[in-house]
Structure 1
Amino acid sequence: MGLLSNRVDRASLKPGDHIYSWRAAYVYAHHGIYVGDDKVIHFTRRGREVGTGTFVDFLLVSSGPSRSLVPCETCTPPEEGHGVVSSCLNCFLSGGILYRFDYSVTPALFLAKARGGTCTLADSDPSDVVVHRANYLLENGFGCYNVFKNNCEDFAIYCKTGLLVLDQGAIGQGGQAVSIVGGPLAAVLSAPLRLLTTNIYGMAASAVVVYCASRYAADIGSGMRRDVVKISAEDLTSRLAIGLLQVIEPLSLPAPGS
């Protein structure tokens, strides 16, 4: 994997890998956890979903396994109303290219990858712990799907790290949503900086600086978020069932490299 692409081949996959594949002409990627034996556990909108009321809802049709007219012989049909599903690798990719999500990247590499949803500053837990979380959530669910706050990328990052964003009013731990929101937000927040220059390159640079800063601050591993908690899959699902998730004390995570 390099600076420009996280593309990998199937032979390099190991259980516990966080993988993804781009959908809708590279507008959105679908994420999951490879658990071995050609199987991927991933979070879809088959369960109850909170819509956004925007064009993004249309893109959510890509967030799931392929919908071929010929049923896959190796995939178990998912339970209705249960968002976490298990699919074979082919159905997960749905004809797309295989990529692997990077963990423990340096701040320089994180900022160099201008597109969110490909890497994080956060550290991954051991592969056996990752696979356990994914399998447990396959049986017990991951709550209500929401494109900005609780989506397939949030699911995969939680499985890898055990970290969860508590503030339901905030964007989740995934980088895709930050990128979607960050572009327009950077244009607005950089407006005062533009008053300092009439040069078009200066205005563009100010917007880029604000965008990169917002991406870094929003990353779950940056150490700047105060709404992050480390929680076991067992505790998570039991609290989701009774609505007590937000009473947990957030963590004070160290900044990368500290």
Structure 2
Amino acid sequence: MDRITWYSSCIERWQLKRGDHIYCWRTRAGYLYSHHGIYESDQKVIQYCSASTFSSSSSSSRQAGFQIPLALSAMTQAQRTCIACREAEREGGVVISCLDCFTEGDNICLFVYSVPRWFRNMWLIGSPSQHTCLVEAEDPPETVLRRANNLLANHGGFSVDSYDLLTNNCQHFAIYCKTGRKLTRFN
């Protein structure tokens, strides 16, 4: 908890460390959900996402596990500056993107591990459905990045076909990279 305060888990880009589990609240979706990933280095993030469809013939688009209106999806797509990031996220699964495309202009937050149970319980009072810290310990950054890069190359249990909003999403991916455990529920 050395880089966040009691009131905020937001951090600045210069505070990022290799292997950090970061997330961004999606402001364009009214803070309805957050998107998680593992900071790799050189402004790159390894993340897990559902396949996105940016077709003008579709009335909605599936992104990050939610059905969102095509107009919002098109706005999000237009925010992307990198063709490589757009193409990777269109395919879905475990992908690497630049930090700018990952954040979509939203604030970067740090997911915290090894917190005391009382702290986690207090944190959940304001947001019982959103988990931003865990009691579990995190592994060293080298181990975290080895797991994330292995999943980037092989997908493992995080293929585009296995994406599930509730049981196998970007947060589950990041927690697995940090702890080596696939959590079925948040402790």
User: Which TM class, normalised by the smaller chain length?
Assistant: 0.7 to 0.9
Contact 2:43/2:98 (8 A) holds in 1: yes
Could you tell me which amino acid in structure 2 is paired with residue 164 of structure 1?
K
Aligned residues: percent identity? 40
SS state at 1:104 partner = coil
Contact 1:28/1:59 (8 A) holds in 2: no
Note the aligned Cα RMSD (angstroms).
2.6
Contact 1:45/1:60 (8 A) holds in 2: no
The Cα shift of 1:58 comes to: 2.2
Could you tell me which amino acid in structure 2 is paired with residue 125 of structure 1?
D
- In structure 2, runs of 5+ residues without a counterpart are 53-64
Number of aligned residues = 159
Which has more strand, going by share of residues?
2
Q: Distance in 1 between matches of 2:97 and 2:109?
A: 16
Q: Distance in 1 between matches of 2:69 and 2:133?
A: 21
Could you tell me which amino acid in structure 1 is paired with residue 22 of structure 2?
I
Q: Distance in 1 between matches of 2:91 and 2:109?
A: 28
Q: Distance in 1 between matches of 2:68 and 2:90?
A: 21
SS state at 1:67 partner = helix
Deviation by residue 1:45-89 (Cα, 9 ceiling, x = unmatched): 018xxxxxxxx73259999xx522765167483186441111100
Q: In structure 1, what is the equivalent of residue 38 of structure 2?
A: 33
Q: Which residue of the other structure, out of 4, 10, 19, is the alignment partner of 1:7?
A: 10
Matched, 1:161 2:170: no
Matched ranges for 1:49-198 at <5 A: 57-58=66-67, 66-68=76-78, 71-72=81-82, 75=85, 77-78=87-88, 81-114=91-124, 115=127, 116-141=130-155, 142-143=158-159, 144-165=162-183, 172-173=184-185
Contact 2:48/2:92 (8 A) holds in 1: no
Q: Distance in 1 between matches of 2:144 and 2:135?
A: 17
Which has more radius of gyration? 1
Could you say which structure has the greater relative contact order, defined with CA pairs below 8 angstroms and 6 or more residues apart?
Answer: 2
Question: Is the deviation greater in 134-143 or in 72-81?
Answer: 72-81
